[in-house]
C-alpha cells in the first residue's frame, strides 16, 4: 500500500512519509514561496531588531513595562522569522526531508514557541494598556518592572513547554495514532489542542482590547468635558487613546494574518484536505511572517516615543558623513543643532 496516503498511513512513520508533506508541485510555486519567505523574513528581522535597539537604547523606554512587553514581541517575531524561514524553505523549496523526526519536531517546537510567545506578548501588552487606562493612579504600583519580567519568564516557559510536547512524546509515531495532514509526525489531538490554545489567546486579546477601547472612549468623552482643566491629565488621556488605537491596529493585522492558517488547521482535523488546500496552507503560512513584519511598522508610525527615537537615529546617521568633511566650526554647529533637536 502506498505510504503517502494521509493521514491513515502517516501514522506508520515511514521514512518516505516526509515526502508526502512537500506539497509544492511546480517550480513557480517554490520560487514564489522562497521569495515571500526571504522578503518577509529579512524585513521582519531588520524591523524588529530596530525596534529592540530603539527601546533599549533609550533609558526612558526600556524601563517601562509596556515597552518591555513590546520588546518581547519583537524578540519572538525575530526568532519566529529566522526559524520559520530556514526550516520552511528548506523543507518545501529544497525538499529537505532527510532529517530525523527529532530534528523536525525540534524545529517545529521552535516555530511554535516563537509564535505562541508573540501572541502571549500581545496579550500582556493589552492587559498592561487596560490597567494603565482603567487605573492610572495605581498603574505604577500594579505594573512594576519586576512583575513585567516575571510575567515574561512565565510566558516564555509556558510556550516552550507546550511547543516541546510533540518532541517529548505526544506525536503520532510514539502513540501510533492518526497523524496530521499538514505537519509530519504531529498527532491530530495535539494539533487540535494547540489550535484551541491559540484561539483562546486570540479571544483573550480581543476581549482585552475591547475593554481598552471602551475605557479609551470614556476617557475621550471625559477629556472633551474637562478641557478647562490642566493639560497634564488631557495629555495622559490622549496618550492612552493613541496607544489603544495602535494596539487595535496590531490586533486587526493579527487576526487577518492568522485566520486562514487556523481555519485550515481546524478543517484538517475534521476532514481530508485536497492537494490544492494543502498548497494554499503553505502560502497562507507566510502570512504569519507578514504579521511579524507589519507590527514594527505600526509601532514606528503610532508610538510617539519610538518615532522620536527613530528620527534621532536617522538624523545622527545623516550628519555623520557630513561632519567628517566639514571644518571644526561647522562640526560644532552640527553638534549644537543635534542637541537642540
**pLDDT 10s digits, 272-327:** 888 888 888 988 988 988 888 888 887 666 777 888 888 887 787 777 655 555 54
Supply the pLDDT for residue 327.
45
**pLDDT level of residue 134 (50, 70, 90 thresholds):** confident
90 burial type by CB count under 10 A (0-12 exposed, 13-18 middle, 19+ buried): middle
Contact 132, 143 (CB under 8 A): yes
**pLDDT level of residue 116 (50, 70, 90 thresholds):** very high
Cα–Cα separations (whole angstroms), residue 104 to 3, 25, 166, 215, 299? 19, 21, 10, 45, 34
Contacts of 212 (CB under 8 A, 6+ apart): 126, 129, 130, 133, 244, 247, 248
Report the CATH fold assignment for 25-306: Rhopdopsin 7-helix transmembrane proteins (1.20.1070)
Cell 500500500 belongs to 1
Supply the pLDDT for residue 6.
46
Supply the pLDDT for residue 16.
42
pTM of the model: 0.81
Contacts of 211 (CB under 8 A, 6+ apart): 130, 134
In angstroms, rounded to a whole number, what is the distance separating the alpha carbons of residues 270 and 175? 19
Supply the pLDDT for residue 4.
40
44 burial type by CB count under 10 A (0-12 exposed, 13-18 middle, 19+ buried): buried
Q: What is the helix (H) or strand (E) element at residue 3, kind and residue range?
A: none
Assess whether pLDDT exceeds 60 at residue 93.
yes
Of residues 52 and 220, the one with the higher pLDDT is 52
Query: Mean pLDDT highest for which of 56-65, 73-82, 291-300?
Result: 73-82
**pLDDT level of residue 176 (50, 70, 90 thresholds):** confident
154 burial type by CB count under 10 A (0-12 exposed, 13-18 middle, 19+ buried): exposed
Give the total residue count for the chain. Answer: 341
Assess whether pLDDT exceeds 70 at residue 224.
no
What is the pLDDT averaged over residues 115-141? 86
Assess whether pLDDT exceeds 70 at residue 337.
no
Assess whether pLDDT exceeds 50 at residue 341.
no
In angstroms, rounded to a whole number, what is the distance separating the alpha carbons of residues 90 and 192? 26
Amino acid at each position: 500500500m502506498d505510504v503517502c496516503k494521509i493521514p491513515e498511513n502517516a501514522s506508520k512513520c515511514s521514512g518516505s512519509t516526509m515526502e508526502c508533506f512537500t506539497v509544492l508541485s511546480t517550480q513557480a510555486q517554490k520560487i514564489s514561496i522562497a521569495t515571500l519567505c526571504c522578503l518577509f523574513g529579512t524585513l521582519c528581522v531588520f524591523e524588529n531588531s530596530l525596534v529592540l535597539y530603539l527601546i533599549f537604547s533609550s533609558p526612558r523606554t526600556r524601563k517601562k513595562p509596556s515597552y518591555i512587553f513590546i520588546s518581547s514581541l519583537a524578540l519572538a517575531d525575530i526568532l519566529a522569522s529566522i526559524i520559520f524561514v530556514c526550516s520552511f524553505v528548506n523543507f518545501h523549496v529544497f525538499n529537505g526531508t532527510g532529517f530525523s523526526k527529532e530534528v523536525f519536531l525540534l524545529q517545529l517546537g521552535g516555530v511554535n514557541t516563537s509564535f505562541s510567545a508573540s501572541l502571549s506578548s500581545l496579550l500582556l501588552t493589552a492587559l498592561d494598556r487596560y490597567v494603565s487606562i482603567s487605573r492610572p493612579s495605581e498603574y505604577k504600583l500594579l505594573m512594576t518592572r519586576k512583575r513585567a519580567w516575571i510575567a515574561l519568564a512565565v510566558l516564555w516557559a509556558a510556550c516552550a513547554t507546550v511547543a516541546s510536547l510533540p518532541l517529548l512524546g505526544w506525536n503520532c509515531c510514539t502513540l501510533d495514532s492518526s497523524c496530521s495532514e499538514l505537519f509530519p509526525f504531529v498527532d491530530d489531538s495535539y494539533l487540535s489542542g494547540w489550535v484551541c490554545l491559540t484561539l483562546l489567546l486570540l479571544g483573550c486579546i480581543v476581549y482585552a482590547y475591547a475593554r481598552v477601547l471602551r475605557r479609551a472612549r470614556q476617557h475621550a468623552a471625559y477629556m472633551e468635558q474637562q478641557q478647562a482643566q490642566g493639560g497634564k491629565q488631557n495629555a495622559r488621556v490622549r496618550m492612552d487613546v493613541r496607544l489603544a488605537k495602535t494596539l487595535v491596529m496590531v490586533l486587526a493585522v493579527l487576526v487577518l494574518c492568522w485566520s486562514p492558517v487556523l481555519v485550515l488547521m481546524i478543517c484538517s482535523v475534521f476532514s481530508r484536505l485536497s492537494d490544492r488546500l494543502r498548497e494554499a496552507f503553505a502560502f497562507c503560512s507566510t502570512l504569519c511572517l507578514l504579521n511579524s513584519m507589519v507590527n514594527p511598522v505600526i509601532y514606528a508610525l503610532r508610538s510617539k516615543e519610538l518615532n522620536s527615537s527613530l528620527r534621532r537615529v536617522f538624523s545622527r546617521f545623516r550628519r555623520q558623513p557630513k561632519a567628517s568633511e566639514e571644518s571644526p566650526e561647522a562640526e560644532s554647529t552640527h553638534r549644537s543643532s543635534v542637541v537642540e533637536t
